Amino acid sequence: MSLLKLASFPPATVSPGASVLEAVEVMAEHAVGAVAVVEHGILHGIFTERDVMLRVVLRQLSPKDTRVREVMTAPVETITDDTSEEDALVHMVERHVRHLPIVNTDGQLTAMLSIRNLLEHRVDELARELHSLDQYLSNDGPGG
């Protein structure tokens, strides 16, 4: 399955000049923990709730007066939509990141993949397997 089917589309984005407070508002609105930082279609970086905590609150910076470009992570690692689910998950766990922007062959941002997207898909699969097993046991299984 293409990762695009699991990822958040369209991805939540802000411009590098947005304030941290504006970025937090975008994350709250989309119910996500990261925004892609984009200007003129170019992906400049990523800004996450972990960055809000460690780079803004911990340093006692003002969320209103601090620009995203000052506290974002850049350059940012990206994947393409033909990356496998397994590779994406292992990459996230090993690199301690919860989000990976998906870019197309022109390097343009197309979606944002979160570790939650991958896990929810796994849990759905597990639920389907259990449901099939349940059907088997009640309809065709031994001991009727």
Which chain residues interact with a copy of itself by CB under 8 A?
20-21, 24-25, 27-28, 33, 49-50, 52-54, 56-58, 60, 63-64, 89-90, 93-94, 96, 115-116, 119-120, 122-123, 126
Please report how close the Cβ of residue 75 comes to a copy of itself at its closest, in angstroms.
23
User: 28 or 137, CB closer to a copy of itself?
Assistant: 28
CB of 37 within 8 A of CB of 47? Answer: yes
Residue whose structure tokens are 């992906």 = 43
Please report how close the Cβ of residue 40 comes to a copy of itself at its closest, in angstroms.
27
User: 13 or 103, CB closer to a copy of itself?
Assistant: 13
Q: CA distances (Å), 112 to each of 33, 39, 90, 120, in order?
A: 11, 16, 17, 15
For 93, the token pair is: 């766990």
User: 25 or 81, CB closer to a copy of itself?
Assistant: 25
Please report how close the Cβ of residue 41 comes to a copy of itself at its closest, in angstroms.
27
Question: HEC states along 25-84?
Answer: HHHHHHCCCEEEEEECCEEEEEEEHHHHHHHHHCCCCCCCCCEHHHHCECCCCCECCCCC
Please report how close the Cβ of residue 104 comes to a copy of itself at its closest, in angstroms.
28
